[in-house]
Structure 1
């Protein structure tokens, strides 16, 4: 899996075949990169945010703990080196359904709220990502409420 992730992160601008199937691996790769960006946009990655990213990757994609942690670490490293996240957004928009994009927004909200201190930079990122992923304000708001409920439930 790491080979695929490294290849994906190294060449985000490559044009995929028109009818390329999208599978769980592509969603994992794109989701990990955006989750890492959501965790770091405020200039720090808190332990709670890092744990939330690993947990979300593990739970949502059926990864083992080590595999999820490795994917999260690599995505975090790439996000720290990247000056933009539009390549990740483009991949998601080309290959994923509206429901999959809403699910990703929900995951992002969970990371943003994981440390209990969402800030203006994270809120701004979420508004930008929701718009870029063509997720409406009501859908993003509902995803945020679901993420908060899940965090409060423990």
Structure 2
């Protein structure tokens, strides 16, 4: 069986690999949403529907914040468990907000122009499934793990009444 010290040493490399996968998901999404927001904002033929460019701009901001938090986490050598939990929670909230926005957009948005200029419903369904799976697998689970680690670290702290050496 694996020793507990061996399992604890697997933590940081595994966490860095998860951050890499989060960056692989959020980075291209940021570029895609940002480029699409600029393309729809400056396209004279799509100026009828301002919502599309605002939606893409908002989603680009959410994914840019996720990438920024990943860069901040990468810069910390050993963050305090409470700080790590807050950063993971922020990423999880941003990923959930992105998923919710894409989901509500796919359900309630009706285009103001003809079918041929609007993306088909199949691509919207794929976006919903992709963002849901990626947010649950990569963001929410890491946020829960960071929260549990922070609670364990707080429970393991000694105060003035406890002896420094335990039997």
Q: Considering the TM-score relative to the shorter chain, is it more than 0.5?
A: no
TM-score, normalised with respect to structure 1: 0.30
Larger RCO of the pair (alpha carbons < 8 Å, separation 6+) = 1
- Of Structure 1 and Structure 2, the greater helix share is in 2
TM-score, normalised with respect to structure 2: 0.28
